[in-house]
Chains A and B, each alone.
Chain A
Amino acid sequence: MKKLTLWILFLTVFTIGVELAPKDAEAIPAFARKYKTACITCHATFPRLTAQGEAFRLNGYKMPGGDELFIKDQPMSLGAAGYKRVFPKSVWPSDIPGMPPVAIRFTQKTVYGIGDNDPTVDFNAPSTKILAAGSMGEDMSFFTEFEFEDEASEISGWLMWEDLLDGAIGENHLNIKIGSVGMQDLALPNTRSHNMITTEMYLYTSAMGLHAEGGSNTGLELNGFDKWWRYNLGITQGDGETAKKDFYGAASFKLGGLGYDGSGGTTEEGGLSTTPAGYWRDDSIAFGFFGYRSYNGPQDEESDRYGVDLRLNYRDLSVAAGYISGKDIEDHMSGLLLDQDVYFGEAEYFAYPWLQPYVRFEGLSVSGADNTSRVIAGAVMLARANVKFNVEGRFYTDNEPATDGAGNRVVFSLDYAF
């Protein structure tokens, strides 16, 4: 009850909301160049996607309703469309981006520890991401990311082949993605690092071992979408050391606003509900669920995760909530089987196009251990469309970790992409 009261208090004080349309793409200025359009066409605030951006992402990095019509930087043809008639005596025609579809994103955090354990100021090493993404012809898209942070680096990427049945069961109802898949396509993908407004990771994902930071494991995924629904079914290598594979399934539904396929919207023009000062608006409700079976560790400790989520966007306010139940099925190493519950509520408010305060309350309970709960509160400020600052506090309301750097803190973050 105390938590609930605190949560309501924060909501009232900050008058904030959550923007939680399902999202999962990086801010990639290469697309801004290709279409000669500003970041806000697809992001509010980057890297979080607008409804239009989400439709663009789902559609294989192509503008719904005739991508060719919007392209300013013409792609380089790898074969005219007429070569489809020649197949199999020719390579299926395609194209590649006219300019190298490469972008760079830079992030640097300064952390002020305000907990009892580490009252220090640290200028963290910056992280840099090199991103390359785009489409190849009408039915293929790709994404590659190189991330460098301190002395570590990480590479991920995928190729998606869209509309495998050429619309026989509905356009974009069956696509296959090969490469780095997994967490980014679960029911609440905005919780992954690529889509967060906050600088703080979500307990929702990080506490459940759902690869929220890296965002993926290697495997393949079938997915599809229509105006009001989307789904993902995937199998990945997992973290185990034997041949057992993780697998997952997710579905999301959306009522109102712009459809996942880019159709619909609520303005009199029939487009996205937006104004020149409200490109982020998408009055809608979305909800989803997912299940994830994973095998971790040297002996394939087995666990299940089931999650549900709800998202509501209304004018300048967004709110969202998510809940995951985690259950260890088998643990060969310790024999200790844990039940875990994690939840969060989040709100974000567009006070100005360049200023969005936000707040999140999240909690974790693990069988046999003390409950953890905390509040993430802050604001994101756009200095330019592609340059942002976050000021954000992390305050534990229950069970503040004693580990250095893991307790209460305030973070100042600089983030830009070009």
Chain B
Amino acid sequence: MRKSKIVTLFIALIAAFSLLSGGSIVQAEEGGHAHGGGHHGGGTIKGLVKTPWVKRYPAIVYVDHVDGTFPPPKENVFIGQSNLTFKPRIMPVLKGTTVDFTNDDNVVHNVFAPPGAAKEFNLGTYGVGVTKTETFDKLGEVPLLCNVHAEMDAFVVVLQNPYYTLTDKKGNFEIKGVPAGSYKLKVWHEKLKEATQDVVVEAGKTASVKFKGLKKR
């Protein structure tokens, strides 16, 4: 519990710092990791993913492709395992990001990505306090499972650029600092089929997008 509070505080500080510096913020679930990025002079994409599912599970809204190269963060991000759950459960990452999988529980855990994942891997079974790492270098959805505790699951969604965010419980989202241009804006959700909308971003302005009528997978 104490560790969780420290992590939450740390994340809040990073989020505050990033906001003040004008970068975009990725809202992470359950006190997860924030990802900085952004483009000075860019525009904002703001909107709503209209579905009751976001109240239970957040959606990831992301710009599908932005020209240029986007280096992954120099420092690893992490997904913990405690109380037989992955924390955070939903994590969008930039391609090339390395994730530390910590075992913060008092039992052994395993992390593997099943067939059909953008990247299939198995970190094996490991004990309390051990950390294993995996670099996510292929775009797409990577479900995570634990073969010791079949009920545990999480998702890493590997993206091409840093212009992404998680919805809040009402489905609202905001992506700041997007370079001016025309893009495909997409929604990923673990229970819903992918949806796409065209969006035009102008520097210093806010483009509004609303996703609705999303179908169940």
Interface of A toward B, CB cutoff 8 Å = 66, 68-69, 76-83, 85-86, 90-91, 93
Give the interface centre of A79, A80, A86, A90 by most chain B CB atoms within 10 Å: A80
Contact A83 B53 (CB under 8 A): no
Count residues of B near A (Cβ-Cβ below 8 Å): 18
Q: Measured between alpha carbons, how far is A82 from B145 in the docked complex, in Å?
A: 7
Q: What chain B residues lie within 8 Å of A68 (beta carbons)?
A: 56, 191
A80 and B153 contact, Cβ closer than 8 Å, known pairs A69-B52, A69-B53, A86-B145: yes
Contact A69 B56 (CB under 8 A): yes
Q: Measured between alpha carbons, how far is A69 from B192 in the docked complex, in Å?
A: 13
Q: Measured between alpha carbons, how far is A66 from B151 in the docked complex, in Å?
A: 20
- B154 to A: closest C-beta gap in Å: 9
- A99 to B: closest C-beta gap in Å: 17
A78 and B150 contact, Cβ closer than 8 Å, known pairs A66-B52, A83-B145: yes
Residue in contact with A86 in the complex, picked from B53, B115, B144, B216, CB distance below 8 Å: B115
Q: Measured between alpha carbons, how far is A79 from B148 in the docked complex, in Å?
A: 11
B143 at the interface (CB under 8 A from A): yes
Residue in contact with B150 in the complex, picked from A66, A69, A83, A85, CB distance below 8 Å: A83
Q: Measured between alpha carbons, how far is A93 from B53 in the docked complex, in Å?
A: 20
Contact A90 B53 (CB under 8 A): no
User: Other than the known A82-B145, A82-B153, A85-B115, what 16 A-B pairs have Cβ atoms closer than 8 Å?
Assistant: A66-B53, A68-B56, A68-B191, A69-B52, A69-B53, A76-B151, A77-B150, A78-B150, A80-B150, A80-B152, A82-B114, A82-B143, A82-B144, A85-B143, A86-B115, A93-B150
Give the interface centre of B116, B144, B153 by most chain A CB atoms within 10 Å: B153
B interface SS class? loop
- A76 to B: closest C-beta gap in Å: 8
Q: What chain B residues lie within 8 Å of A91 (beta carbons)?
A: 150
Contact A80 B151 (CB under 8 A): yes
Q: Measured between alpha carbons, how far is A82 from B146 in the docked complex, in Å?
A: 10
- A323 to B: closest C-beta gap in Å: 41
Nearest B residue (CB) for A68: B56
A81 and B117 contact, Cβ closer than 8 Å, known pairs A68-B56, A69-B53, A86-B145: no
**Cβ-closest 9 pairs across A and B:** A80-B153, A77-B151, A85-B114, A82-B143, A79-B150, A85-B116, A86-B114, A82-B145, A82-B153
Q: What chain A residues lie within 8 Å of B152 (beta carbons)?
A: 80
List 30 A-B residue pairs with CB atoms under 8 Å apart, sorted by A's residue number.
Answer: A66-B53, A66-B191, A68-B191, A69-B52, A69-B53, A69-B55, A77-B150, A77-B151, A78-B150, A79-B150, A79-B151, A80-B145, A80-B150, A80-B153, A81-B153, A81-B190, A82-B114, A82-B143, A83-B114, A83-B145, A85-B114, A85-B115, A85-B116, A85-B117, A85-B143, A86-B114, A86-B115, A86-B145, A90-B150, A91-B150
Q: Measured between alpha carbons, how far is A168 from B216 in the docked complex, in Å?
A: 15
- B199 to A: closest C-beta gap in Å: 27
Q: Mark B102-124, 1 if CB is under 8 A from A, else 0.
A: 00000000000011110000000
- B84 to A: closest C-beta gap in Å: 10
Q: What chain B residues lie within 8 Å of A76 (beta carbons)?
A: 151
Q: Measured between alpha carbons, how far is A79 from B150 in the docked complex, in Å?
A: 4
Q: What chain B residues lie within 8 Å of A78 (beta carbons)?
A: 150-151
Q: Measured between alpha carbons, how far is A174 from B1 in the docked complex, in Å?
A: 48
Q: Measured between alpha carbons, how far is A66 from B150 in the docked complex, in Å?
A: 23
Q: Measured between alpha carbons, how far is A77 from B145 in the docked complex, in Å?
A: 13
- A308 to B: closest C-beta gap in Å: 37
Q: Measured between alpha carbons, how far is A290 from B114 in the docked complex, in Å?
A: 47
- B146 to A: closest C-beta gap in Å: 8
